[in-house]
Structure 1
Amino acid sequence: MADEHQHPDVPPADDDGEAFVVPPGDGPRPRSPRRAMTLTASMLVAAVAFALLVVLPTGYAVSSPGPTKDVLGKQDGTPLIQISGATTYPSTGELRLTTVSGTGGPGYPSTVLRVLDGWASRWSVAQPREVLYPTQETREQIDQENTQAMTSSQENASVAALTELGYEVPATLTVAGTVEGSDAAKVLKKDDVITSLDGSPVPDYQTLLDDLSKVQAGDTITLGITRDGKEQDVSIVTGKKPDGSAMIGVYIDPTFDMPVKIDISIDGIGGPSAGTMFALGIIDKMTKEDEANGVDIAGTGTMDVSGDVGQIGGIRQKLEGARRDGATWFLAPASNCKDVVGHVPSGLHVARVSTLHDAREAMVAIGAGKGSTLPTCEK
């Protein structure tokens, strides 16, 4: 008796290798060797094509929502912000810095699959590589620049936070360069140290800014400087900033004498855009008031030593990253509002801020349940 899986009544194949048709009811059709080979080849081609989609680099850069970090929390068991020389207080809320994850730069190519995902996602952006990376910098150079920017951001945040809290932060104000075409370019030299303005000492950067704010653009000021160890006075006609205020026309590289020791430890994140959240974290830790008061607040923005919040990139990706990780509020630089309107994820509320003082007041209002009173990008 024939085995039940065999069919001795199936006719033999023709000369082309194709089996004759078996009438219905006479048993299952046999698999054609040619069809089997074609199917196998097709599957192999598909597998190779998929593998290429996964690994083949493209000329595009893709930006997506990156991880967030609570600056009041810890990383690998170590507090992100450590303060010594001043009393600190516990916090119950979260203050999240936000990031953008990117591919397409030197050493990090975007695959075809990654680009397709970037085009399909509402919260990702795929664009030609040269838009984000217009130079021929190496991966190492970009990483170094981002690390330096992060270090500078942390120092600026520390100075701005201490100044906001009423501390004096002495600084040596060294000239790093002058603005081309300014009067300062004629009389100041690199490495000059500014010590006074119109006879008033400027022991810190904030004092210099405050004194300069009382001057009208076009006025002549007298700067006291130290050059090669010798003190002297120089006269400078001030220039005008875009907002109409007076400027000296000089780039200053300040060296700060911090009255409180502040260490910020964070790995794997570079760039300057976390400055505002670092400054808020320092303020929250150094005040008795629990400003965030249990609320998960995210945000972004560069921070300079005078407390101004600056524009950043990737705001839409950062908004989605904040929502994804549980934040209910987001502090956005006022200069980024044009990119915020119409792109706020559901469940996330956005307040606009221009200065560290604005951000501090927003944090307090949100913690007190009065966030609805804050200015937004829509009003």
Structure 2
Amino acid sequence: MAIRLSRPRALALCALPVLALFGTAAFAPLPFTVAQPGSTADVLGDDKGKPVITIKGTPTRTTEGELRMTTILATAPTADVGVGDVVDSWFRTDRAVMPRDSVYPTGGSEKEIERHNLQDMEKSQNVAVDAALEYLDKKPGSVDVTLHLADVGGPSAGLFFSLGIIDKLVGNGSGGDLTGGRTVAGTGTIEADGTVGAVGGVSLKTQAARRDGATVFLVPKAECKQAEAEQPDGLRLIPVTTLTSAVSSLRALDQGGKVPSC
């Protein structure tokens, strides 16, 4: 026998499964990671008492200003992220919900992920040295570069390692600093040929940069829109695609020339 229900009652009955689903989801962990602005580090300075960049085999110069690589701080791969965490992040500019696989694409245990991230960092450092020396037309055999940055994993500091090496060796090429004495921050992977790649989490990294005193942020051009989404006041965004374009933009900024913008 068919039973005819009033519209309010029908809607109420239809809503019950949905409410039950939301109720279950509220207590079930979701496949997300919550990220926030992380630490920054000046690659021209020291890290835990050791120079981040050590160069032997050729004269180096004393630098002023800062080149700050930026990071995000994400919940651990095994951390439970619930609906409440997701909803809270929607209403905050200093939090972002990201698919767990995009932050930890390799999977595995925390130790395995940490090991992989450190391997990525080591590879990134080696490539950054190659890219900088290639830009300067110097042979690796006659210049010994050592990079040290503890407790940071992944490849996103590549561009800034290369810029730091260039600043320590030749500055802006006219006797001044590549930074122009400013605090310059940014992010981006680097290839041996100088190509700069996207990294993710840019809108959070701009906040970390401004918090730590940066007035200029170098961002992979493909991520300009993300950087603009939460652009802090007082932080200038400069898009880059290659190591050469990054150096050229910093020189132009210091000399009052034309500088690209997002």
CA-CA distance at 1:166 after TM superposition: 1.5
1:145 aligns with 2:32: no
- 1:312 is matched with 199
User: Structure 1 residues 261, 140: closer, same or farther in 2, change over 3 A?
Assistant: same
Which of 54, 57, 70 is the equivalent residue of 1:85? Answer: 57
- 2:145 is matched with 262
Aligned pairs for 1:216-255 within 5 A? none
Which runs of 5 or more structure 1 residues have no equivalent in the other structure? 1-55, 170-257
Which runs of 5 or more structure 2 residues have no equivalent in the other structure? 1-26
User: Structure 1 residues 135, 357: closer, same or farther in 2, change over 3 A?
Assistant: closer
Across the two proteins, how many residue pairs are aligned to each other? 231
- 2:232 is matched with 345
**For the Cα contact (< 8 Å) 2:76–2:110, is it kept in 1?**
no
- 1:158 is matched with 129
User: Structure 1 residues 348, 140: closer, same or farther in 2, change over 3 A?
Assistant: same
Deviations along 1:59-111, one digit per CA (max 9) or x if unpaired, are 341011101001001112211101000110011110000001000413x5558
- 1:280 is matched with 163
User: Structure 1 residues 281, 135: closer, same or farther in 2, change over 3 A?
Assistant: closer
CA-CA distance at 1:134 after TM superposition: 6.0
Which structure is larger by alpha-carbon Rg, 1 or 2? 1
User: Structure 1 residues 136, 164: closer, same or farther in 2, change over 3 A?
Assistant: closer
- 1:376 is matched with 261
SS of 1:341's partner is helix
- 1:361 is matched with 248
- Choose between structure 1 and 2: higher strand proportion: 1
- 1:19 is matched with none
**For the Cα contact (< 8 Å) 2:33–2:98, is it kept in 1?**
yes
- What code does the residue aligned with 2:50 have? T
Aligned pairs for 1:17-166 within 5 A? 58-59=29-30, 60-106=32-78, 108-110=79-81, 117-127=88-98, 129-130=100-101, 132-133=103-104, 136-166=107-137
- 1:187 is matched with none
**For the Cα contact (< 8 Å) 2:36–2:96, is it kept in 1?**
yes
**For the Cα contact (< 8 Å) 2:203–2:228, is it kept in 1?**
no
- What code does the residue aligned with 2:234 have? G
Q: RMSD of the TM alignment (CA)?
A: 2.2
CA-CA distance at 1:340 after TM superposition: 2.4
User: Structure 1 residues 352, 90: closer, same or farther in 2, change over 3 A?
Assistant: same
The TM-score with structure 1 as length reference comes to 0.57
- 1:294 is matched with 181
CA-CA distance at 1:123 after TM superposition: 2.7
SS of 2:180's partner is coil
Q: What is the rounded CA distance, in whole Å, between the counterparts of 2:110 and 2:75 in structure 1? A: 12
Deviations along 1:229-267, one digit per CA (max 9) or x if unpaired, are xxxxxxxxxxxxxxxxxxxxxxxxxxxxx4311111111
- 2:217 is matched with 330
Q: What is the rounded CA distance, in whole Å, between the counterparts of 1:353 and 1:133 in structure 2? A: 26
Deviations along 1:303-350, one digit per CA (max 9) or x if unpaired, are 011010011110111111101111000001112123223431111000
Q: What is the rounded CA distance, in whole Å, between the counterparts of 1:66 and 1:344 in structure 2? A: 16
SS of 2:225's partner is helix
The TM-score with structure 2 as length reference comes to 0.80
SS of 2:142's partner is coil
CA-CA distance at 1:116 after TM superposition: 5.8
User: Structure 1 residues 90, 103: closer, same or farther in 2, change over 3 A?
Assistant: same
User: Structure 1 residues 132, 71: closer, same or farther in 2, change over 3 A?
Assistant: closer
- Choose between structure 1 and 2: higher helix proportion: 2
**For the Cα contact (< 8 Å) 1:63–1:118, is it kept in 2?**
no
Identity of aligned residues (%): 39
